[in-house]
Structure 1
Amino acid sequence: MSLRQKLLLVALCTLALPVAGWLYVRQMETLLRQGQEQALTATATAVARSLAVTDVPLPQPGTGWYVQQAVNPIVIDGYGDDWAPMTPWSQSLGKQSKLLLAEDENGFYLYIDVRASRRMRADAGDVNALSADHLILQLVQGDQHRRYLIASAAPGAFTALTLDPPAGDLPDRIVGQWQEDGSGYHAELRLPRGLGLSALGVGVYAAADGGDPLAVDVRPLWRYSQYLSQELAQLAPGGTRARLVAPEGWLLAQSGRLTTSGAQPSWWSSVIYHWLLANPLEDGEAWTTDAPRLELPEVKTAGKGQATTLWRQGEQRDSVVLATAVPVERGQSVVGVLLLEQASRAVPLLANRAFFSLLLTSFGVTLVAGAILLFFATRLSLRLGRLRDAVERAQLNDGRLDGQMIQSHFPMAEADDEIGDLARSFQKLFEAVGGYTDYLRTLASKLSHELNTPLAIVKSSLDNLEHAELSDEAQPYLARARDGVARLGTLVRAMSEASRMERAIAAAEPEDVDLAEVVGGCAEAYRPLAGTRQLECALPDQPVHLHGAPELIAQALDKLFDNALSFTPVEGWLRLTLRAIDGGAEIELANQGPPLPAAMQGRLFDSLVSLRDKATPGDAPHLGLGLYVVRLVAERHGGVASARNLEDGNGVAFSLRLHGMPRQRLAG
């Protein structure tokens, strides 16, 4: 991974800022909700206390019978078709019976559904009516009450039997309809509306089960009150919907409607809020139903004396509704539950604004930080790249150091930062290595100059010893000494020759030549020398022009051929190739033979380096100047000399890549 990519990853770490901001906005939304919850709960508690201390008719503690408002006209026929819209809110009467109560401007209605698998039938006027299946109805009007026996031996109309003496204006005669089916019976009746009943008692007696035939379940009557709704409307704050219900959830009063102020946000803002910012909203479908009974867990909790709140989705887009349920207490008893709802766009609006502001700020900070780090990484990469290129250019292809580049053109050596320190350290290192390399390169010429005088002294001393009388035993030692001096002289002359060749190559005069003619002529001259070896020469069809010294090129080819011939088997092959390249030409001489040692490939073209076997005693030493001359010729022509093993591993190839010598300008 590059430095730029690493710093880009560091820049991406700034993305933690919007994540932290997102968590902050969610926490802010939670705090806003908690503040609204506390405010609405306090308001609902104040309204509940106001209802408790006033004289409004609140239900008494305990259970009651709820009287629904008739949805459509009710016909007294003993069938429950007219009661179908109200059936979901029927009230349990014993284990297997249900009671429905309703009223309209025409009267007060009762519908009793009794499930019984076995029946004992009798009319209300029969002597054994109390022993058969029957109903007991008790009407309560303040302190007055009266009971009635309802029974029928067959489906049809019935007349209730009065069990108690007259009381107040309670009716003396009640008629209704009795119907049966395979699983039980139904009783339907109507009472005058103006009775002002405060309580109602209903009892179901099954002869098969036994029990008290006169037992009744007396409960107060609960109904929706317009007067209580008006009182609630005066106490509830504006913009809210208030509902007062009994502890069992029966609706007693309601006022107000949910209104959401403010402009409607876009669908995109709504999606952002609900998917990213909003804390979970509870299912509030039961809160939105217009039903006489609200079976809510919040009502049950408040009925036990504990206030509770919930957040639900509003009816309008991007709105939320806060609902709270608080108990209405008189004394130590809970007589009702107040439900207060408030719709709002403030929380989503504030959360969206905070989120978008944070998003823009975070994006800007991330963009600026990324741009700064990218600029810094790019600049740092470019500087390191320049330093790398300078280090690579400081070393030439033959391993020598470019002293001019090190001393004059080493980049960023003047910088004051760590890269400048690194550049100066490289420069000092290359200067030291370059000085040592130059010392090694000139060591041969220095040694040849310094060894001439000692060798002359030794040689003259040996010449004088020849004229002296030496024993026969000393003659072999004298011969060995003269042989050693001769070998040393050869080495000194070779080192001097290398220095002279460098000067001669540097002083060569260039001219325009056709390399095809030069290489072709050399190839024809080499054929007799190849003997049994096969020599191939591949030349281009077009002339290959070059501005250079043909005698130097031929000399370099002579050295390459001599080197290749010494390593090629007697039945082997040699291949001389010339090809044109961009800005020059390439001459390659390949031969069959052993591959180049890996450790020697970088030193083949140095002075006094040879791959041939050590000379046997008495033979002239091989000084390894041939490939050194080849390198000097290539460099004189602006090129490079190289060697490589062939891909098939059957030999090696030496090549000269030449670009020509610079043209001399004539003085004007």
Structure 2
Amino acid sequence: MSLRHKLLLVALCTLALPATGWLYVRQMETLLREGQAQALTASARAMARSLVVTDAPLPPAGPVWYVQSAANPITVDGYGDDWAPLTPWSQPLDNRGKLLLAQDAEWLYLYADVRGALRTRADADDATALRADHLVLSLGKGGQSRRFLIASSAPGLVTALPLDPPVEGLPARLTAQWQEDGSGYRVELRVPRNNVDALGLAVFDPATGGDPEAVKSRPLVTYSTPLSKELGLLALDGVQARVLAPQGWLLAQTGRLNTPATTPGEQPGWFAALVYRSLFANRVDDAELWTQDVPRLDGAQVREASDGRPATLWRQGEARGSVVLAAAVPIERDGQVRGVLLLEQASRAVPLLANRALLGLLLTSFGVLLVAGAILLIFATRLSIRLGRLRDAAERAQLNDGRLDGPFPMTAAEDEIGDLARSFERLFEVVGGYTDYLRTLASKLSHELNTPLAIVKSSLDNLEHALQAGNAMPPDAQPYMQRARDGVARLGALVRAMSEASRMERAIAAAEPEDVDLVEVVRGCGEAYRPLAGTRRLETVLPDEPLTMHCAPELIAQALDKLFDNALSFTPDGGWLRLALRATSFGAEIELANQGPPLPAAMQGRLFDSLVSLRDKATPGDAPHLGLGLYVVRLVAERHGGVAMARNLEDGVAFTLQLHGMPRQRL
């Protein structure tokens, strides 16, 4: 049997039974929820119709102003300290500020906070008052209303200017407190509570324009004790009922959430409640929004019911192991939504049934899972051991430069791991042979080319002597003879370079690391390079603190020598060079920058390869540049676990060595 089939069989044995049982219990819990939601929604619809039929005092249709009850006396001084408990439920005011309304037994209080950095100031009785920042307040009673203009050129007590004739039952004179700061102004006032049943407030800003006297009046609504009594006659036992305005303001409430009592054996523990919420009741919302005694419930279900569609919500209950079902239905009269009826009912039946079904599922599947788990553990242990042997063999082959050290394990196995072991064995045999071929290629080429080069060189010497002895060499032939000698010299240098590159690789690989201070290594190199710079300026930038690294300092100095020699050849007289060392999160970084021509884009990827050079071609007779310097730099960086990079600057080039440090040998 293949490894894939074995894993599939084990997975089916461990997952089939629990997954099926979990789906069954979840479906059962969903059906129970839907049944309870339909029953509570039907009860809420019946109660909403009863409220309409009995002519309960429902709020008017359309926008309203909600007046909250003041728990403490409010001092009319223009400051919002007394309004702090009511601030979270402020009402927007013309998109420019917020409005707070409160009442006690005698007074209706108003606090308006208008935001605006730029203002035009004028008193209410000034001729320019209508063109300055001001408020238009409308008070209504019994279908009649009267408007007042509130404006002030300075903080303090202001008297509102009536804009309409007097109305019986409404205040003839109105005063307010005006306060302001750099962010806007605030107005606070009070009027007798029994004289007002509608209110309008408009903010005029000269910058935006508009009608300076326009104001829209809205009815005032507040918590209604008569509506609460009417609701209490209709509410069911154990159900909490609330009547909300379409905007979510609380108008009436009655009843309490009574969680059904259970016997000690049926009381779910904390683990059972946690399992229920995690595995089954993933649609149970947080209870904080609904359990607070707040004047406004602005939830998605309330907004949906305000649009004429019933909505339900499951949330966490206050008692452990309980859930609460909330049903919101619209209260409609004359085709208009006049309010929202919200019923909430606590229940333990759904969690208890789900937990009992889950307990049976656990007892049934525990034995199967125990046996399957033991089988899986044994199988996984054997599989990990086999894979570990395969990994160890691959690591041994890597330490031996790709060559196998003895036979590869598990090549006789008949499953996929055996196929993988045989493929690895063939791969390492090919890689090892190719590595041996590359390792000896340079020495073989240099050995094979030395003899032909010696023959060509001696033949050229003999030919030149023979022609010079007989005075038979034409003058035009001398340059060609010299070019032939230069070509032979360059070929000889290339052959020696290949041998030298092979020796350098072995020397770098065999370098012994030690703990050294890179600051001292780079400082010593900088001091040695300063006399060689000549007319060029050399700047050394070093950290103030020591920078210790486990590395081969002679290799780092050799790499810096190559970089300095390369930078010196490209830096013009009077130019600058900069040698810098800085600590990084992974180790250290050494950078040698110089003024000079930029790097060609086509050579960026090949710059650190062997036998690659950007210097000008040597003239006949000059020693050729073999392009091994930057190759040595790359080998040194890789030996220290880092990389070598080059980039162009605005007026030069920067070469960077990123060093991570050499691994420590285990004793």
TM-score (norm 1): 0.51
1:180 aligns with 2:183: no
CA contact (8 A) 2:78 2:186 kept: yes
Map of 2:140 onto structure 1: 140
**In 2: Cα distance, 1:184 partner to 1:173 partner:** 26
Partner of 2:302: 299
Counterpart in the other structure of 1:270? 273
Aligned to 1:331: 334
Matches within 5 A, 1:245-264: 245-263=244-262, 264=267
Letter in 1 for 2:61: P
Matches within 5 A, 1:611-622: none
Aligned equivalents of 1:14, 1:132: Cα separation in 2 = 78
Question: Could you tell me which residue of structure 2 aligns to residue 309 of structure 1?
Answer: 312
- Residue 47 of structure 1 is matched in structure 2 by 47
User: Offset of 1:215 from its aligned partner?
Assistant: 0.6
Q: Which amino acid aligns with 2:201?
A: V
- Distance in 2, Cα, partners of 1:275 & 1:116: 48
Matched, 1:120 2:98: no
What stretches of structure 2 of length at least 5 have no aligned partner?
Answer: 373-667
Cα distance in 1 for partners of 2:83, 2:347 equals: 38
Structure 2 counterpart of 1:550: none
Offset of residue 347 of structure 1? 0.7
Tell me if the contact between 2:146 and 2:163 (Cα under 8 Å) persists in the aligned partners: yes
CA distances 1:220-263 after superposition (whole Å, capped 9, x unpaired)? 11211111112112212111221211111111111122121123
Q: CA deviation at 1:369?
A: 12
- Map 1:267-666 onto structure 2 (within 5 A): 267-360=270-363
How far residue 190 of structure 1 moved from its aligned partner, in angstroms, is 0.8
Q: Match for 1:223: what amino acid?
A: T
SS in 2 for 1:262: coil
Structure 2 counterparts to residues 192-231 of structure 1, below 5 A: 192-195=192-195, 197-231=196-230
CA distance in 1, matches of 2:281, 2:172: 64
Alpha-carbon distance in structure 2 between the residues aligned to 1:123 and 1:24 = 74
Amino acid at match of 1:337: V
The verdict on how the C-alpha distance between 1:15 and 1:84 changes in structure 2, with shifts beyond 3 A counting, is closer
Is 2:66 the partner of 1:75?
Answer: no
**Larger displacement relative to structure 2 (355-364 or 129-138):** 355-364
Alpha-carbon offset, residue 17 of structure 1: 4.7
CA distance in 2, matches of 1:34, 1:290: 28
Tell me if 1:23 matches 2:26. no
Q: Describe the superposition over 1:520-558 as per-residue Cα deviations: whole angstroms up to 9, x where unpaired.
A: xxxxxxxxxxxxxxxxxxxxxxxxxxxxxxxxxxxxxxx
1:350-372 superposed Cα distances (whole Å, 9 cap, x missing partner): 122233244445668x69999xx
Secondary structure of the residue aligned to 1:108 is strand
Report the 3-state secondary structure (helix = DSSP H, G, I; strand = E; otherwise coil) of the residue aligned with 2:304: helix
Summarize the Cα distance change of 1:349–1:79 in structure 2 as closer, same or farther, 3 Å threshold. Answer: same
Letter in 2 for 1:75: T
- CA distance in 1 between counterparts of 2:281 and 2:73 reads 47
| Structure 2 residue 225 is the aligned partner of structure 1 residue 238 | no
What is the identity, as a one-letter code, of the residue corresponding to 2:110?
L
Q: CA 1:188 to 1:278, structure 2 compared with 1: closer, same or farther past 3 Å?
A: closer
Contact kept in structure 1, 2:277 and 2:284, CA below 8 Å: no
Q: TM-score, normalised by structure 2?
A: 0.51
Q: Which residue of 1 aligns with 2:107?
A: 107
Task: Give the letter aligned to residue 329 of structure 2.
Answer: V
SS at match of 1:334: strand
Amino acid at match of 1:330: R
> Which secondary structure state, in structure 1, belongs to the residue aligned with residue 82 of structure 2?
helix
- Tell me, in whole angstroms, the C-alpha distance in 1 between the residues paired with 2:281 and 2:88: 35
Aligned mates of 1:350, 1:294 — CA distance in 2? 31
SS of aligned partner of 2:139:
strand
Task: Give the Cα separation in 2 of the matches to 1:367 and 1:249.
Answer: 51
- Aligned equivalents of 2:134 and 2:25: distance in 1? 66
2:212 counterpart letter in structure 1: P
Following superposition, the deviation at residue 205 of structure 1 comes to 1.8
Cα displacement string for residues 17-54 of structure 1 (whole angstroms, at most 9, x for unaligned residues): 55433322221111111110111111111111112222
- Looking at structure 2, the residues matched to 276 and 93 of structure 1 have their Cα atoms a distance apart, in angstroms, of 45
Match of 2:659 in 1: none
SS in 1 for 2:61: coil
- How far residue 68 of structure 1 moved from its aligned partner, in angstroms, is 1.2
Distance change >3 Å, CA 296–CA 367, structure 1 → 2: closer
Give the deviation of 1:106 after TM superposition: 3.8
Which amino acid is the alignment partner of residue 64 of structure 2?
A: G
The structural deviation recorded for 1:285 is 2.9
Structure 1 pair 268/120, CA: closer, same or farther in 2 (3 Å)? closer
Does the Cα contact within 8 Å between 2:108 and 2:190 map onto a contact in 1?
A: yes
Q: Deviations over 1:405-459 (max 9, x none)?
A: xxxxxxxxxxxxxxxxxxxxxxxxxxxxxxxxxxxxxxxxxxxxxxxxxxxxxxx
C-alpha contact (below 8 Å) 1:26/1:279 kept by paired residues: no
Q: Which amino acid aligns with 1:247?
A: P
Does the 8 Å contact 1:138/1:216 carry over to 2? Answer: yes
Alpha-carbon distance, 1:296 to partner: 0.6
Point out the structure with max Rg over C-alpha: 1
Q: Which secondary structure state, in structure 2, belongs to the residue aligned with residue 135 of structure 1?
A: strand
Deviation at 1:105, TM superposition (A): 2.0
Letter in 1 for 2:235: A
What CA distance in whole angstroms lies between the structure 2 residues aligned with 1:356 and 1:82? 55
Contact 2:112 2:187 in 1 (8 A): yes
Distance 1:97 1:18 in 2: 57
Q: Secondary structure at the match of 2:83?
A: helix
Structure 1 stretches of at least 4 aligned residues deviating more than 3 Å after TM superposition: 12-19, 275-280, 357-364, 366-370
Q: Is the 8 A contact 2:106 2:194 kept in 1?
A: no
Q: Structure 1: where are the runs of 5+ without partners?
A: 371-668
Question: 1: CA distance between counterparts of 2:185 and 2:208?
Answer: 16
SS in structure 2 at match of 1:36: helix
CA distance in 2, matches of 1:67, 1:47: 26
Q: Residue 56 of structure 1: CA displacement?
A: 1.4
User: 1:128, CA displacement in angstroms?
Assistant: 3.0
Count of residue pairs the alignment pairs up: 362
Q: Supply the RMSD in Å over aligned alpha carbons.
A: 2.7
Corresponding residue SS for 1:215: coil
Q: Residue type of the partner of 1:156? A: G
Task: Tell me, yes or no, if the aligned pair for 1:30 and 1:279 is still in contact at 8 Å.
Answer: no
Distance 1:17 1:98, change over 3 A: closer
Determine if contact 1:114/1:184 at 8 Å carries over to the other structure.
yes
Q: Contact conserved, 1:71 with 1:85, CA < 8 A, in 2?
A: no
- Using a 3 Å threshold, how does the CA distance of structure 1 residues 112 and 19 change in structure 2: closer, same or farther? closer
Distance in 2 separating the partners of 1:137 and 1:125: 15
- Deviation (angstroms), 1:323: 1.2
Amino acid of the structure 2 residue aligned with 1:115: R
Matched to 1:350, the amino acid is: L
Q: Deviations over 1:112-140 (max 9, x none)?
A: 11223332222222233223222211111
